[in-house]
Amino acid sequence: MNQPYHMLGYIHESPEALRMTLQANEEQVRKIAADVLSRKINKVVVAGLGSSYTAAMMAAPLFYLHSLIPCLVVNAEETNYYANRWIDDHSLVVVVSRSGERGAVVDTLKLANSKGSLGIAVTGVADSLLAQNSQITLITQEGPEITFPKTKSVTTCAGILMRLALALADGKDQMAVKRIQMLANSHESLQKNIQVIEPQVKDLLPFITSHKNLNVVGTCSNYGVALEAAVKVQEASFITTRGDSIAGLLQGPVGALDAEWLVLALAMAEDEAQTRELLKLIVNFGAHAIAVHPTGMDFSNYCEKSIVLSEPSDPFLAALQYLPVVQFFAYYWTISRGMNPDEPSSMQSILGSILPPGRQEPELKK
């Protein structure tokens, strides 16, 4: 358990990767916003798979609130269901894949190109199949990530999508202007939060690992973090994990919980009352909970444990600050089971099923 794997280092590299990604792509993001206006784009589709999809869901609330143009965030495997309505020569299609090698995301971009859409690739690999098929590419700046469960690249993908969403706002939207500045400085808060989150997760590890199942819940951008937890914890540690909204768990599924379940509630001031109601039921049904919240909030009367962040977050940008919690959960739970978080035993079988023929995952080539 003392051996540090690549995954742990990459979590700690996330703040700098986020800063560099936003800085390196600022001019290109503004160009895309200008192209959207000049081409009279009237709809936006954002598509991804796995952690790229969950990163898109973290940014989705900003698209829904600030973009002047209607937006659909969709799993890339399901693009065809909506193509006739959403993809044409007046569409902006943003396809997200860190590796740029997933068949369904490449197919989505090819479809967008065939219909005359403005196709954008968000990827960490400049010579990937996705980048080769894109008109414009936003390259995330996390550098090599020699792990199957991605961490810093999820942060960078979410961050650049958030910036793109804000670029599509009305220039008179003062809240969007404020959030652009908050996003530009978010790496500083992220650095502080990583430093305070990790020791808390390590201290809680005996409590965490005494459970067989995990349920993570959140609202607004944290809903995307909850979905990402289901990807990250399961692909690294093989612990059954659900991601849901707070209301989604509260409206029925909470009744199925028992002592084998641990609920990780990603709480903010905006959803505090709803979180308290959920935590009451969790205790009543014999399950256990950890509340993740900023300093100044108190859930001690509603659950056994808490993880306290360094400061409050804007709910539309909060995902960037709460992400390290689920990443550290995945890392430390995995190594506590004597497993390698960088290369889960299922990795090669999964890659063989999801990559196009003849293509390989960057940095994981054998």
- Relative to beta strand 71-75, strand 43-48 is parallel
Pair of tokens at residue 79: 């693009």
The CA distance from 220 to 73, in Å, is: 14
Cα separation values, 318 from 16, 38, 156, 261, 347, Å: 17, 32, 14, 25, 30
The 3-class SS string of 215-282 reads: EEECCCHHHHHHHHHHHHHHHHHCCEEEEECHHHHHCCHHHHCCCCEEEEEECCHHHHHHHHHHHHHH
| Contact indicator for 264, 289 with CB cutoff of 8 Å | yes
Pair of tokens at residue 170: 């009305």
Pair of tokens at residue 100: 């740029």
Q: What is the CATH number of domain 189-336?
A: 3.40.50.10490
pTM: 0.94
**Region(s) of the chain under CATH 3.40.50.10490:** 6-187, 189-336
Say which CATH class 6-187 falls into. alpha beta
Cα separation values, 51 from 6, 152, 254, 290, Å: 18, 11, 25, 23
Pair of tokens at residue 140: 């995330």
| Contact indicator for 228, 276 with CB cutoff of 8 Å | no
Cα separation values, 200 from 277, 359, 360, Å: 24, 40, 37
pLDDT of 366 reads: 47
| Cβ neighbours of 259 (radius 10 Å) | 12
The CA distance from 324 to 326, in Å, is: 6
| Contact indicator for 165, 179 with CB cutoff of 8 Å | no
Question: How many residues are recorded in the chain?
Answer: 366
Residue 55 exposure: Cα atoms within 13 Å on the Cβ side: 30
The CA distance from 218 to 275, in Å, is: 9
Backbone angles phi, psi at 309, to 5 degrees: -80, 165
| Cβ neighbours of 178 (radius 10 Å) | 12
The CA distance from 301 to 311, in Å, is: 21
pLDDT of 349 reads: 59
| pLDDT, tens digit only, all 366 positions of the chain | 456 899 999 999 999 999 999 999 999 999 999 999 999 999 999 999 999 999 999 999 999 999 999 999 999 999 999 999 999 999 999 999 998 888 889 999 999 999 999 999 999 999 898 999 998 999 999 998 988 899 999 999 999 999 999 999 998 999 999 999 999 999 999 999 999 999 999 999 999 999 999 999 999 999 999 999 999 999 999 999 999 999 999 998 999 999 999 999 999 999 999 999 999 999 999 999 999 999 999 999 999 999 999 988 999 999 999 999 999 999 999 999 999 999 877 655 554 555 566 656 666 554
Q: Which residues pair with 241 in a beta bridge?
A: 214
| Contact indicator for 33, 66 with CB cutoff of 8 Å | no
pLDDT of 353 reads: 57
pLDDT of 197 reads: 98
